[in-house]
Structure formats: C-alpha cells, structure tokens
Amino acid sequence: MRSATERLMIAALAVLLTGCASVPTTGPVAHHTPQAVSVDGGVRVDPLPPSEGASPLLIVEGFLHAMSTYQPDYAVARQYLTDQASKEWHPEDGVQVYADGVPLTDAGSSVRLLAQPVGRVDAKGIYSAADAKSDPIRQDFALVKNSQGQWRISKPPTGLLLSRYLFSTGFADVDLHFLDATGSVLVPDSRFFASGDQAIRAAVEAELAGPSDWLKPAVQPIDTAGVSVVSLDLDRTGLVKITLGGRASSLNAAQRQRLLAELAFTLASFTQVAGLTVTTESGTWMDPAGRAVVTSASYSQLSPDNSGSSGVLFAVEGDDHKVRQIRNVTDASQSLEVVNGLTNPGALTVNAAATELAAVSTDGRVLEVSRIGETKARQLRVGSGLLRPDYGRNGELWSAAAASIRQLKVYRADAEVAVDTSAVPNLPVVAMRLSPDGVRLALALKVGKSTQVGLATIVRQGETFRLGSWRPLTLTTTGTASGAATDIGWTNATGLAVLVTGDTGGSSVLKTTEDADTVTDLGPGDAGPLVQLAVAPGRSTLARSAEGNVYRYDGEFAWPMTMSAVTSLVYSG
C-alpha cells in the first residue's frame, strides 16, 4: 500500500498528462506577457521533483511525466536520475513514442516498460512512424539508492520517452517551408517541437538548418551556414522580433526575400504569431511592399495550397458519359454540360485553370486531352490498364499504368518528358496524386494482396524529372479501418485522404498527414465498396461507389448521398 505522500504525488502526476515537452533544451524565448497563447492552447503545469522516500515505481512514473513537460535542460526530470545518469542523458537526442495504456512492470528496484513503438522523432524534429514489424521498446530503468538513501534511475532512455497521448498533447506539428526548384512555390517540411513559445525559436533555427534529407533534392535551400539567431522576442501583440547574426548580413537581396517568405509561412503554424520582423547588423529586412512587419500574406503567391485552381467539381455521368460541371455539391441538379472532344471518357482529370480535360477511356486503353469548348481531342497515349491521370501545378500531365510504376509518363504541351522512377519500388500502381505544390507524389502501390501507400519527391533536372527517395507511410493504427488502399488524394499541402476497402467489401476514408503521425478513420464503413475519392484543399471530401453513388463527408461516419449515376468525378487542379 502506498503512503499518503505517495498517493498525493500520484494525483499531482496525473495532472501532468496535459503538459508539454520539447527536444530542444536551451534557447528560451524572451516573453513579454503571461497571457500569450501557446501552440496547443493548453495549460502548462510545472513538473514535480521526486518526493522524499518515493518508491521505485513512483520515481519512474514521476520521471516519465517530467519528461513530458518542457523545462530548459529538463532540470526537474534530471532530479529523478543518479548523478552519473544525468551527465550521460541527452534529452535533445529525440523522442521515442509508445502506445497508450501500457503499465509499468514493478519488481522492486527493477521497474520496466515493455511497449509497442508508435513512432520516433529524431534530433531535427523529423517524425518517422513505426511499422507493425518494429521491435517493442524494452526499457529497464535500473533504480539504485543514492547517498541519501533515495531511489534514483541509473539507466534513462535515449532521448525522451513518451506515450502517444503525452506526445500528442506535448508536441506541435510545425511545417517548415522551403522554396521549390522553380522558385514558384513553398514546400512544407513537417517537424515536431515541444508545444509552447520556445518552439518558435526551435522552428526558426530548424529553418536556418535547412530541409530534411528526403526533401532537399527537390527544393532550393538557401546557404545559411554561419547564420545564427542572436535573439527572438514575442511581444504581446504576437509580433516575433528576430535578430540574426553571423553571416546574415552577407545574404543578398534575393536570398533575404526567400528567407523572409520561408520564415513567414513557417511561423504561421503558431496561433500566437501575428507577424515577424528580421533584423541584422545592417538593418531591418523589408518585404516586397517595403513593410518591416512580414506575414504569409506578403508572399501569398508562394503558398503551397495555392495551386492556381478554383477547385471546380467535374463529373462524368450516365451511360453516355457526359462531362458536367457541378456547381453545387449538395444539389447535383445545378450542373452544366461541358462541351469537349473526349471520345469515351472514363477516369477524368481537369487542369487548374479548368480549361482542359484529360481522361482515360472506359476500357483503360487510351489517354485523350481536350480543351473545354472544343470538339476534337488529342490522343497522347495508348496502352492497357491506364489509371486516372493528374495535372501538375505547372501544367504537366502525369499518367500511370496499373502494371508498374516504371510505366509512368509525363507530358508537357502534349510532348512526353523523361521521368526516372528507379528510386520507387518496381510495383504495380493502384492510384497516384500530385501534391498541391507539385513537388511530392502520393502513390498507392500493390504488394501481393495488400497495398503500400507512400510519397516520393519530384526532382526537376532541367527539362526532365526524377522521383526522389520513396517514403512509405504506416496507416494501420488502433481504431482505424484496415484493408487495401484503392485511391488517394491531397486534402491540403500536408494532408492526405486514403480510401481503403477491407476483405468484406466495406470501405473507409482515412485522414492522415504526410508523415502519418496521426491516422483518423472518417467512415463511412457501411456504404458498400467505394472506388474513388475527390478531394481538394478547402473543398468537400467526396467518395464514389462502384454503383455510381457519390457520398459527401459531413462529419465522422456521416456521409449523406449527394449524387448518383456518376462514373468519375474530380476537382480541377
């Protein structure tokens, strides 16, 4: 039986479940108001040091919760360690995330944690989801008594060790941004930092450190080697005042504008940030309009969600395969027939300007393109098993065939452009979608009787393309539907919707992120086999059944039917 002191300690520790955590252990923000809103809007609770006479189990519980609350250098968490263990422990090395609901094993001085890993955050804040084959986390905290006769941990984990819940409440997903190879769009690069204002400085420093190894070949990082953050202040109005030192003054005008744009979009991830200024020893940097206070609106044309598309919905309907523009997704009668020259349109796509259609014939053998308003189509490709094509941000048309990713083709102004797919596994393709920024390609590949969903970067090499390294996504988590992926789409610059169908025929739409740190089952589950998604930033998520019924997402597991007799549907762009 625990003492009254221990019971009081446990009650206090339970409150810490809403705390915050961080990989960075130094560099606090100079803060001028206690009322500022943190990233997650939660209430910060200071971690508690170990109580005198606490049992080994309580020491480990206290340490786990102290790790979940950010402190400079994790000073309170270190109080649970022996002096030698504290010297050797480096919380900045990353985060191991394990499944919720796992109890500690208490065997006197040997307190252990055996848990299934969920994911890991490295020292740069990059999250990697664990797969089903990952070895379990085995942590023996090896408690010993110190010179005062108090139990302390002699073997802490590498970095931080957090349950999924504590990670989700204590860490914020922040999108860094880097300009693409064409200089026309910013590309997000997801990182995780501890919730709270100290994450702002961590994000700025990460921006200066450059993109992840996975994204780097597809963007144009600025050479910021030697550029440092001298100070960073967040005032009561939400203005972040950044002072840069080192080589910052040597950056030319174009580099300054690029870095301002990248920082503006990166700090837009924080709800407490209203704008920013950047100052070096040579003065304050100005946005293109000559303003010192910079926001993402200063560079709106570079937004990764701004593909230039109005997100107009088009559908192929009826036995005669008429293409129609759907003006109101909740009232299919408000539609307009689209004049075009497509011969027998099946899987349809529309460019961002909604001026051109491309479709694979109903038998999957011919890819045609037609300008809207014209009655003659141009034939681009003949083959078998051709899948729904997709227009890129810059107007290129991407066409995949079911047989293999090696049959991927890209067309620019109707001419085929070479694309190197050797970095992606040579597997059959189920579905393919380009991200709104046009720099990442989402693929569902067929692996035996199952599927693998993943991402590849699109690297531009002069007039040709190369798919960068393949990054598979782990989508199977507790509480979500399992099955084979049948379609995929981008809900925004970093969000994905994946249509999965189980062995019994039931289908569900999974909502996830580009690194699969969260996976949510949206349903519907009972609408029968679904075969196609239509998604776009800021637009209703739609799913089509094999019978041609279209369902609109209206909340988790709420999917009212909104159209029928549809053989294909797509948003422009």
Which of 236-245, 512-521, 522-531 shows the lowest per-residue confidence on average (mean pLDDT)?
Answer: 522-531
For residue 288, whether the previous peptide bond is cis, meaning omega lies within 30 degrees of 0, is no
Read off the pLDDT band of 44 (50, 70, 90): low
Residue 556 tokens, joined: 């988790």
Sequence-distant (6+) residues with CB within 8 A of 336 are 324, 325, 327
- Look at residue 331 in the predicted model and tell me its pLDDT: 81
Higher-pLDDT residue of 330 and 270 is 270
- Look at residue 9 in the predicted model and tell me its pLDDT: 38
Inter-residue contact 439 to 187 (CB < 8 Å): yes
Distance CA 32, CA 234 (A): 7
Pair type for strands 275-280 and 283-284? antiparallel
Pair type for strands 530-534 and 519-524? unpaired
| pLDDT above 60 for 36 | no
Residue 478 tokens, joined: 């507790």
Single out the residue of 22, 72, 29, 20 nearest to residue 193, CA to CA: 22
Read off the pLDDT band of 37 (50, 70, 90): very low
Residue 232 tokens, joined: 């960073």
- Look at residue 34 in the predicted model and tell me its pLDDT: 25
| pLDDT above 60 for 2 | no
In order of their start, the domains of the chain are: 4-171 (no CATH), 176-302 (no CATH), 313-571 (2.120.10.30)
| Chain segment 422-442, per-residue pLDDT in tens | 999 999 999 999 999 999 999
- Look at residue 10 in the predicted model and tell me its pLDDT: 36
| Chain segment 135-172, per-residue pLDDT in tens | 999 999 999 999 999 999 999 999 999 999 999 988 99
> How many Cα atoms occupy the beta-carbon half-sphere of 53 within 13 Å?
6
Read off the pLDDT band of 128 (50, 70, 90): very high
| Chain segment 388-402, per-residue pLDDT in tens | 999 999 899 999 999
Inter-residue contact 552 to 329 (CB < 8 Å): yes
DSSP string over 390-401: EE-TTS-EEEEE
- Look at residue 33 in the predicted model and tell me its pLDDT: 28
In the DSSP assignment, the letter for residue 165 is H
> Please, what is the average pLDDT of the chain?
90
- Look at residue 6 in the predicted model and tell me its pLDDT: 39
Q: What is the pTM of this model?
A: 0.88
249-252 contacts at long range (C-beta below 8 A, 24 or more positions apart) = 249/280, 249/281, 249/282, 251/222, 251/224, 251/227
| pLDDT above 70 for 8 | no
- Look at residue 137 in the predicted model and tell me its pLDDT: 97
- Look at residue 15 in the predicted model and tell me its pLDDT: 34
Enclosing H/E stretch for 228: strand 227-234
Q: Give just the sign of the alpha carbon dihedral 459, 371, 314, 310.
A: positive
| pLDDT above 70 for 559 | yes
| pLDDT above 70 for 40 | no
- Look at residue 503 in the predicted model and tell me its pLDDT: 81
3-state class (DSSP) for residue 276: strand
- Helices 4-15 and 56-67: angle between axes, nearest 10 degrees: 20
